[in-house]
Structure 1
């Protein structure tokens, strides 16, 4: 019997150790959004663009602070490049905040840690887009436009050009130059997407708050709901009165006709 108890205790200890090890491993993965797979992918393909999205539930009184802390961590960063793209903070019955930014891969982990500290991560995802083909296509287009531009410049320098030819060459040259500048802008945008990760952070109020908070909110809205209900009731009565009068007149008329018919019989 004692032997069986000892085996039972050993089994329980082993089971607890396995569970703790699994939890420890899970925590480590959650705390490192970059991951070894991403690092190896970046090394093998420099044209990958990453978009990280994370949703955080947090106490309502902390949203403003975490919102500001995350923005400050980006704008005041010195060891990595970070650019704020979009911010939005909405107040009302339920406060919520949204931050969209671009940050160097080495700064992603820090930004996410600051934004999630004190809250609960409810959803996290990473989307990877391969931009190798768009970058190469853009490069081919720029080379073609540059070649065409150089040819037009050579034609423009010829001494035997008349005014009509010079006007046509200048018009075509301006068109090619505009297309080249557009292609260079597109290339810069593609390179930025591969060098800076997009991070979307969504702050939401915790789904379950104190027992009294929904009740307090209902009490605050009571007077508004009451006045709205009274106004809608008055409007309904206003719509019903003409129909009520019409029905009464119709009943009196039918009663009169029925009595006349009955008297004749």
Structure 2
């Protein structure tokens, strides 16, 4: 075998060895490296895809809620009036933020009670309830919310429509070729639109007030023990009125039946005389 043949065979053998080594490296790649590559491929996500849809961002439900709170507080009757006045004073002074007293009523006697209704900013709701129920029992608390989103949107669209129509009518009114009758008709229509626009703006202000503030109704009542005692005392007090009512009913019944009794008595007397006369004959 000559030198050239030996060299060719050695070159072929080295090339085959190198190819086999490359295939073996690809076939026996470590699991860790494969896992890293797979993870990197899944982490490469386009913005706005489903992977980040459940992120920390809050979903906008598109609601505009008007909250109303109903709180019933039980406490000793002798402290009800003072506590109601304290709540009213705190609201009027703005102690817990902007607040307005919408109504207040009190009743005394054996079963005193009081009701205070206010409209207050959201941050002051819990503070005002805490003042009202300080050291006392909250017997009942309920929260209701009304979604005003649709009403606000409809009112906004109505205002836009009215403003556009008002602007067009003003343009027509400025024309010089209008007759007096047309001017009067336009003036009447403009006044009507302005009245509707004013009503819509007032409604929008009321809606905004209901959304930005919350209605709180505080009802103060006596404790269960005092309430039961008051009912028993009231029952004893009612005895006289009940007896008087029964006696009055009996008198009225006697007065109603007296004419009937007189008529029956006369009939009986007449019938007896007729029978006696027949017997004698």
Please give the secondary structure, in 1, of the residue aligned with 2:114: strand
Residues 1:102 and 2:119 are matched in the alignment: yes
Alignment of 1:67-216 (within 5 A): 67-209=84-226, 214=231, 216=233
Counterpart Cα distance in 1 of 2:67 and 2:113: 25
Q: Is the 1:46–1:194 Cα contact (8 Å) retained in structure 2?
A: no
Shift of 1:169: 1.3
Counterpart Cα distance in 2 of 1:105 and 1:232: 57
Residues 1:58 and 2:96 are matched in the alignment: no
Structure with greater Cα Rg: 2
Q: Which moved more, 1:183-192 or 1:83-92?
A: 83-92
Output the aligned Cα RMSD.
3.0
Alignment of 1:214-253 (within 5 A): 214=231, 216-253=233-270
Shift of 1:239: 2.5
Q: Which moved more, 1:73-82 or 1:177-186?
A: 73-82
Please give the secondary structure, in 2, of the residue aligned with 1:208: helix
Please give the secondary structure, in 1, of the residue aligned with 2:128: helix
Aligned to 2:33: none
Please give the secondary structure, in 2, of the residue aligned with 1:77: coil
Q: Is the 2:96–2:127 Cα contact (8 Å) retained in structure 1?
A: no
Q: Is the 1:145–1:176 Cα contact (8 Å) retained in structure 2?
A: yes
Call closer, same or farther: CA 1:169–1:205 in 2, change over 3 Å: same
Please give the secondary structure, in 2, of the residue aligned with 1:53: strand
Aligned residue pairs total 225
Call closer, same or farther: CA 1:131–1:211 in 2, change over 3 Å: closer
Shift of 1:45: 5.1
Residues 210-229 of structure 1, C-alpha deviation per residue, up to 9 Å, x if partnerless? 88655544555555555444
Shift of 1:97: 1.9
Shift of 1:131: 0.7
Q: Is the 2:63–2:148 Cα contact (8 Å) retained in structure 1?
A: no
Shift of 1:164: 2.0
Q: Which runs of 5+ in 2 are unaligned?
A: 1-57
Call closer, same or farther: CA 1:215–1:172 in 2, change over 3 Å: closer
Counterpart Cα distance in 1 of 2:101 and 2:230: 34
